[in-house]
Structure 1
Amino acid sequence: MNDRSLQETRKFFAARAATWEEKYPDDTPAFAAAIAELALPARGLALDAGCGTGRAFPLLRDAIGPAGDVVGVDVTPEMIWSARDRGRGEYGQLLIADVGRLPLREGVVDGVLASGLISHVLQPAAVLSELARVTRLGGRLALFHPVGRAVLAARRGRTLTPDDVRAEQNVRPLLHAAGWTLLDYHDTEERYLALARR
């Protein structure tokens, strides 16, 4: 992420951090279903990439078990501070970091949840490669949103375009080039999920 896009992203999310969760309905069941698809091993390491307020942290902790580790990274300090204020730090480690340059060794992550992330990064191919770098062979990635692309576009008063990075015809080759294999793809009113394996 270049400095300008980094500052724009931080500004956008900083203004929304304190009330982020209250703005949306409870979508815990949708998050739980996406996390189940990751098939996280007990005592493994789960990464919440672009974790925001850490709303998925309790679910990731449940999935990975008490002996596992949960790490959440977000580039916006206010989101991490909000996560800590909400007590999410008791479920894992919260880090202010760029998902394009993760402070993790190669091949240590068992599963990555990337909720709402891919459409907010300037270089999705580079981010997917970085997520692949830190994920072990056989580990999984869930590009997820609790509603589908059409619902999200309508909420924002936009229309879907063919160049949307989340469209299957766009995300599949991006994933493949980064070292992922797309296993499953859903884009319905209820959720968006592109599930891939390293």
Structure 2
Amino acid sequence: MSDDHTRVQEFFTARAADWDSRFPDDGPAYRAAVSELGLRPGGRVLDAGCGTGRALSALRDAVGPTGHVIGADLTPAMLHAAVRAGRQTYGRLLLTDVARLPLRTQSLDAVFGAGLISHLPDPLENLRELARVVRPGGLLALYHPIGRAALAARQGRQLTPDDLRAEPNLHPLLAGSGWRLTSYVDEDTRFLALAVREG
């Protein structure tokens, strides 16, 4: 495992036990973000970096009982917290690296990634891997329940021009990895970038 992966695991392992209690009111915001994917009954969707699985119930509702929901995360403690919360009933949980997904090429309709992009060790390659598993025309949602400025303020830091989630940086990053940015919202109350898988 790389140093980047180890750092990500250590960061989330230390926070897994109380993650949900720190953000108890995010459910409706996650549900609203999932609705932007336009998933249909029977659809196949991946929650990449699913953490404790807070998006899984909304994803399950969107694809219905005949759909497939997969939650993938690198940190065992986060997946254990998801199971403790009963969220494994909404989809299949995989302990895996989103850089090397054990999924067939073009097998999914969409990927949902909450707070994902800032934790990717190699964003260009990692977004290419997400593109690999999504059919042409499928969607990617990069989401955070608060915007970039609000998150920076919460963490006591300044926004910098090299922030990957800034639209001038995100647009070419997505384009270089098989995605086309179609919608970009960065408000205090949410960050949501939607992209379509190029054919």
TM-score, normalised with respect to structure 2: 0.97
Q: Shift in Å at residue 86 of structure 1?
A: 0.8
1:62 alignment partner in structure 2: 61
Asked whether the equivalents of residues 99 and 130 of structure 1 are also in contact (C-alpha less than 8 Å), the reply is yes
Q: How does 1:31-110 map to 2 (within 5 A)?
A: 31-110=30-109
Q: Which residue pairs with 1:160 in the alignment?
A: 159
Q: For 1:178 and 1:7, how far apart are their aligned partners in 2?
A: 24
Letter in 2 for 1:128: L
5+ residue gaps, structure 2, are none
More displaced 10-residue stretch of structure 1: 127-136 or 28-37: 28-37
CA deviations on 1:92-114 (whole Å, 9 max, x unpaired) are 10011001111101001111110
Three-state SS of the structure 2 residue aligned to 1:26 is: coil
Kindly state the Cα deviation for residue 46 of structure 1 after the two structures are TM-superposed.
Answer: 0.9
One-letter amino acid of the counterpart of residue 186, structure 2 = D
- Equivalent-residue separation in structure 1 for 2:84 and 2:153 (angstroms): 31
The CA RMSD measured in Å over matched residues stands at: 0.8
Q: CA deviation at 1:30?
A: 1.4
- Structure 1 consecutive aligned stretches of length 4 or more whose deviation exceeds 3 Å: none
Partners of 1:41 and 1:110 within 8 A in 2: no
Normalising to structure 1: TM-score of the pair? 0.97
**Aligned equivalents of 2:118 and 2:78: distance in 1?**
18
Identity fraction in percent = 55
Q: Which amino acid aligns with 2:174?
A: L
Instruction: Say whether the 8 Å CA contact 1:153–1:160 is kept in structure 2.
Output: yes
